[in-house]
Structure 1
Amino acid sequence: MPGGTSVRPHGGQVALRGVVAMDGPSGTGKSTVSRRLAQAFTAAYLDTGAMYRAATLAALRAGLTDLASDAEIARVATGACMKSGTDPAAPTITLDGEDVSAEIRGPEVTAFVSAVSAVPQVRTELVARQHGLIAAAVEQGGGIVVEGRDIGTVVVPDAPLKVYLTASPEVRAARRGRQDAKAGRQTDLHVTLADVERRDRLDSSRRISPLYAAADALVLDTDRLSADAVLDRLRALVVERGLDG
C-alpha cells in the first residue's frame, strides 16, 4: 500500500517498553484511555481503526458502496496513500496528503467501514503497515499503545499486556452520541444504538479477524467506570507487568 509511516520521536527516557494491545468495540472509551496511557508513559500510540476508516473514505471517494466487490474495494483501499502519525497528543491520519482525521468519523464512513474492514486483502495490507509502525516504535527503544479490534488476537498476539474493554450497547451508544454532538454532528440515540448493534454483529461475525477478547486479555467492563478509573487500572497493570522503565 503506498504511503509512508510516521513514528513519533521520543524525548528523554522512554517509560513504556513493548506493546500494550487495547481491543474492544466502539464506545468503550478505548481511544481516550489508550491515548492517555501512551502520554502517561511517553509512548507512541496507534489507532488502527483510523486506518480502516481512511481506507473506507478512499473507497467512498471512488464511488464505491457496500455492493461493490471485494476486488474493487481492495484495489482502491490498498492503492490509497495513507500515513499514520503516532503522537498520542495529536494523532493524525492523512489520505493522499490530506488530513482526514475529522472526516473519517462521519456517518458515511461509519456505515461502510465494517464492509471494508472485512475484505481479506485490505486487512492483510493494513496489518502489514501496522506491523511496520509497531516495529519502528519498539526498535527506537520504546513502547507503543495500539488500539483496535484484533490487536491482541492477530496484530500483536504476543503483546505482554492485552486489555479488552467492553460496555453495554446502550452505554456505548450514549457515549458516541455525546462525541458526535461535541463534534457538531447531528445525533439520534435510537439510530446510534442500532448502528452500534449492527457494527457489533458485523465485526464479531466476519470471517477474517473477528472481534473477540484474546484468551489472555484482561476484560474490563467500563459501564460504571470513568476514563480516569480505567486509566488508573491500566497504569497499574503496566507497572505490574514490569513494562515501565
Structure 2
Amino acid sequence: MSSHSSHAAGGLVIAIDGPSGSGKSTVARRVASALHLRYLDTGAMYRAVTWWMLENGVDLRDRGRVASLVGEVPLTLGLDPAAPEIRVGEVDVARAIRESRISAAVSAVATNLDVRADLVARQQAVAAEGGVVVEGRDITTVVAPDAPVRVLLTASEEARLARRAHELHGSAAAAAVDATRDEVVRRDADDSTVARFLEAADGVDVVDSSHLSLDETVGAVLELVEKRTGVRA
C-alpha cells in the first residue's frame, strides 16, 4: 500500500473507534483537518478488499482463498482529510465501495482473521509514521493501543440508525430507518465477534454524540486532544 498526503504534522496519533453510524469518519476527518494531520479510514480498506474480491469472482465464504489473495490487492490510500482517495490498481473506488452490495458483503472479509492481520499491519505502518488520525473498529486496542489520544465515539442505536438512513436514503423517516437497520445492526453484531468497538477499553475516552451536533462532537474530541497532549487546534 502506498500513501500520500498534502500535509503531515508531528508525531501525534489519534485513534478513534466506534460502531456504524456513530459519525466517526466525518468526525475524524474534521479533527485531522483542524490539527493538520493525515487521515486513515480503515473501514474503507476492508471495503476495497471486498470490492476487489467480488470483482475477481472470489467466493467470500472461502476464507482460506480470501486470506491467500488479500496480499495481492493493489491498495493505494490518499491520506489528505480534505480529499481522501482510495484506489485499487488504477481504479478510484471511493464511490463503489459505499454501494449496498459492498455493505452487505464486507463483514465476511472484516471477520476473516487472516485478512485483518494483513490490513492491521498496513494500518500500523501508517500509524508508526505519526501525524495521523486513524478511525475504525479496533484502532484503540489493536492498531494503535499506545496512541496518546484514544477515543470511543458512540451514540444511541436510534441516533445511529437515523444518521445512516439520512446519509443513504436522504431521509430519517421510518421506512428509511428500517431499510438501514439490517446493515447497521447486523454489521456491528458480526464485527463485534472480532473487534472491540462497543465499549471502551481501559484508558480510552468515551464521547457520546447521541445529543451532540457534528460541530459539538468535533469540539469534544479536540478538547480531549488538548487535555491529553496539550495540542490545540
Q: Same fold (TM over 0.5)?
A: yes
Q: Which moved more, 1:233-242 or 1:19-28?
A: 233-242
| Counterpart in the other structure of 1:30 | 24
Distance (whole Å) between structure 2 residues aligned to residue 172 and residue 10 of structure 1: 31
Is 1:120 matched with 2:113? yes
Match 1:79 to one of 52, 63, 72: 72
Distance (whole Å) between structure 2 residues aligned to residue 103 and residue 57 of structure 1: 8
Structure 2: which 5+ residue stretches go unaligned?
none
Q: Which moved more, 1:189-198 or 1:25-34?
A: 189-198
Structure 1: which 5+ residue stretches go unaligned?
none
| Counterpart in the other structure of 2:187 | 199
TM-score for both structures, normalised by structure 2: 0.91
Q: Taking structure 1 as reference, are residues 243 and 49 closer, same or farther at Cα in structure 2, changes over 3 Å only?
A: farther
Distance (whole Å) between structure 2 residues aligned to residue 90 and residue 243 of structure 1: 27
Is 1:174 matched with 2:162? yes
1:217-228 equivalences under 5 Å are 217-228=204-215
Distance (whole Å) between structure 1 residues aligned to residue 36 and residue 56 of structure 2: 38
Which aligned runs of 4 or more in structure 1 are off by greater than 4 angstroms? none
Is 1:129 matched with 2:122? yes
Compute the displacement of 1:9 (Å).
Answer: 4.0
1:12-161 equivalences under 5 Å are 14=9, 17-66=11-60, 68-136=61-129, 138=130, 143-161=131-149
| RMSD over equivalenced CA pairs, Å | 1.8
TM-score for both structures, normalised by structure 1: 0.87
Size of the aligned set, in residue pairs, is 227
Compute the displacement of 1:173 (Å).
Answer: 1.5
Contact 2:16 2:135 in 1 (8 A): yes
Cα offsets for 1:122-174 (capped at 9, x unmatched): 111111111222223x2xxxx21100000000001101111101112222121
Q: Helix, strand or coil for the counterpart of 1:205?
A: coil
Aligned residue type for 2:142: V
| Counterpart in the other structure of 1:211 | 197
Q: Taking structure 1 as reference, are residues 146 and 243 closer, same or farther at Cα in structure 2, changes over 3 Å only?
A: farther
Aligned residue type for 1:152: T
Q: Helix, strand or coil for the counterpart of 1:214?
A: coil
- Of all paired residues, the percent bearing the same amino acid is 43
Q: Helix, strand or coil for the counterpart of 1:146?
A: strand
Contact 1:23 1:147 in 2 (8 A): yes
Aligned residue type for 1:211: F
